[in-house]
Structure formats: structure tokens, C-alpha cells
Amino acid sequence: MRPEPEGSGHLEAASNPEARERPVLRAVGLEKTYPPLTAGGTGLRLFAGLDLAVAAGEMVAIVGESGAGKSTLLHLLAALDAPTAGEVWCGETAVAGPGGGLRGRAAGAYRNREIGYVWQFHYLLPEFTAAENVALPLLARGMARTAALAEATVWLQRVGLAGRAENRPGEMSGGEQQRVSMARALVTRPRVLLADEPTGDLDGATAERVFTLLQALCREQRLASVVVTHNEGFAARCDRMLRLKDGILVAG
């Protein structure tokens, strides 16, 4: 029997009471299909009728086999890619849907203001200091440099790196670099946090510290959070653990 999909109707079942609120982030009937690479070849369908709803203050973990489409799902939620069919909503904003969704500058503005993104690899600019790296999203939206650096310093303090603001990435450990990337994701005070294997490049003890900090900040900021991870121990600590299987999300 086909597993029951996890969609907006399952928010009430979440362990976090705040998850009963109206979802901040929604995917409805999402489909992603890639055309065949050669004439007469077979295309690839990752999703078919995928539903997801995440409320403020809720942390949802996505697990599944490699190649199932977990990272692609995050890209669709962040308007980094467009679905073949279906809709993505952030609040009242149609990120993707029948009308075409967000493109170009509008998509960039959406990511800058609504989405915090943490990748497996930190993607910090090596020639910039930690504070400058964190300030980049604020500078991109036009904030004055002094104000952006001041806000960046606040967020470096929040992730336990108050004394590292003037250090460059090459002068920091892997865990410290990932905490800088977390500060960069949160400095814009987004409503949504997307994390793609945020501890995948770290050793066990460092991964534990980074995940615990990330979870605490998501709770504190009441972010609608989606975390892709292969670590099912971390996934089990989230409000819900969903498995991407056969193109849909199913409970744990």
C-alpha cells in the first residue's frame, strides 16, 4: 500500500504546538521532471504530487536515499529552480505556480528577505573577514556598510564567534566557518531557514555542537525550518522527520 503523504493536513500531528499555526512555507502538488538527455531516452521524475507545509517555529527534517531529490526540493522552495508543476508559497507570496512564480530580481529579493540558506559547505569568500562575509546579504539589499557590519557582529556573537569577526575563513576551523555561514543565513532575519546537510562536512563532536546551535536559533527566531540530513539521529530531534520516497514525503 502506498504510504500516506505528509502535507498541510499533518501539521496538527507535529510535536511542536506552534506547528498548528497557519503554515509559513507550503508546497502543493509539486512535480519536478527532467527531460531525457538524448532523443528516445527516458526522462527523470523526482517528485509527483509532493505536499509540504511548515509553520513558524517548526523544524522539519527531510531524509532519504542519495539521488531522491532532497537538495532539489530545497532549491524549489528557495526559488533557485522552478518546478515542472505545482505551487510553492511563502506566506502570501507565490514563489512558484501556474502564474509562473518568481524570476530574476524578484526571486533574488525573495531569497534575500525571506530565506536563510545553510549549505553543507560554507561558501565563504576567502578574501573577506568573517564580519564582511556575514554582512554580504545586507550589503546586497543596500544597507550602509557600517550598519551592515554592526549587525554582522551581533550575529557572530550569537553563534559564539565574538572574537573572530576580523578573521578570514582560512584562519578558522571547519566548525567555526559553518557557524559564520549560519550567521550569514540569519543576519537578514528571514522567516524560513533551509539547511542542506549543514553538518555533513564536520566531525561528530563538531557536528553535534553545530546542529544544537542551529536548532536553538531556529526555535528562538521562530523560523519555519527545513533541514536535509543523512543523520537520522539529528532528524529525530526535529519536530517531524519526513522521508522523500517515490516522489512524495512520508512520515519518518
Distance CA 21, CA 29 (A): 21
In a domain, 71, yes or no: yes
Q: What does the block give as the cell for 50?
A: 509532493
Total structural domains within the chain: 1
In a domain, 144, yes or no: yes
Q: What does the block give as the cell for 9?
A: 493536513
Could you list the residue range(s) of the whole structural domain that residue 136 is in? 8-251
In a domain, 85, yes or no: yes
Residues forming beta bridges with residue 196, ordered by sequence position:
228
Q: What does the block give as the cell for 136?
A: 554580504
- Give the pLDDT confidence score for residue 21 in this predicted structure: 67
In a domain, 246, yes or no: yes
- Give the pLDDT confidence score for residue 20 in this predicted structure: 54
In a domain, 64, yes or no: yes
CATH number of the domain residue 178 falls in: 3.40.50.300
CA distances from 236 to 13, 59, 98, 156 (A): 15, 11, 35, 28
In a domain, 1, yes or no: no
How many CA atoms lie less than 13 Å away from 214 in the CB half-sphere?
39
Q: At what angle do helices 145-158 and 130-140 cross, to 10 degrees?
A: 120
The rounded average pLDDT for each run of 10 residues, N- to C-terminus, in the chain (252 residues) is 43 45 91 84 86 96 92 95 93 86 91 94 95 97 97 96 95 95 97 95 92 95 96 96 92 80
- Give the pLDDT confidence score for residue 243 in this predicted structure: 95
In a domain, 205, yes or no: yes
Q: Say which residue the cell 519536530 belongs to.
A: 239
Bin 104: left if φ > 0, else alpha if -120 < ψ < 50, else beta: left
In a domain, 61, yes or no: yes
